Amino acid sequence: MAAIYFSAYATGPSVYMTPPDTALPSRVVPIAGGVAVAPGTRRDFPFVLPGRLCRVTGRLGAAGAGSFSALLLRDTAFTRFQVGQEVLPEWDAAKDTAPKFDLLIMGPGTYHLFINHEGRAGGPSVTVEAQARCR
């Protein structure tokens, strides 16, 4: 069964229709496989999406980890973010109530999952698991 998705951040068409799950083979793009981000550190997980519609999913294991932020940014936004400019992320953990994310992003392009763990030293880490599945 085909599904229709709407995107508020699309640079092209704002509605995407995905083919049935069995219509096309999918390609998995690994992003982070259970990587721990220690308190007081920042970590960037860059990844490249092919020129197709991709479902980017992930989970942040942050039980008791304290204060942290997580953003999913396009490469150009990440460059501006690094020099302190204001950016519009594809996803911002501060605006989400769950430690999971499930986004549809149209490739191609380079993206960054950026984690800033502001917890105090010796505290628990934030565990990051993420991947993209592209049709």
3-state secondary structure 34-62: EEEECCCEEEEEEEEECCCEEEEEEEEEC
CA distance 97 to 95: 7
Least confidently predicted of 2-16, 34-48, 56-70, 106-120: 2-16
Average the pLDDT over 48-66 and give the result: 84
CA distance 85 to 126: 25
Q: So what's the pLDDT on residue 5?
A: 43
For the chain, the structural domain boundaries read 24-134
103 pLDDT tier (thresholds 50, 70, 90) = very high
Higher pLDDT, 43 or 25: 43
HSE of 73, CA atoms in CB hemisphere, 13 A: 21
Q: So what's the pLDDT on residue 66?
A: 64
Q: Tokens for 21?
A: 């799950």
11 pLDDT tier (thresholds 50, 70, 90) = very low
Task: Give the CA distances from residue 40 to residues 14, 43, 81, 120, 129, in Å, rounded to whole numbers and listed in that order.
Answer: 38, 10, 19, 6, 19
CA angle 64, 69, 75 (to 5 degrees): 145
Average the pLDDT over 89-116 and give the result: 88
Task: Say which CATH topology domain 24-134 has.
Answer: Jelly Rolls (2.60.120)
97 pLDDT tier (thresholds 50, 70, 90) = low
Closest alpha carbon to 60 in 51, 52, 69: 69
Q: So what's the pLDDT on residue 122?
A: 79
Place of tokens 């932020």: 69
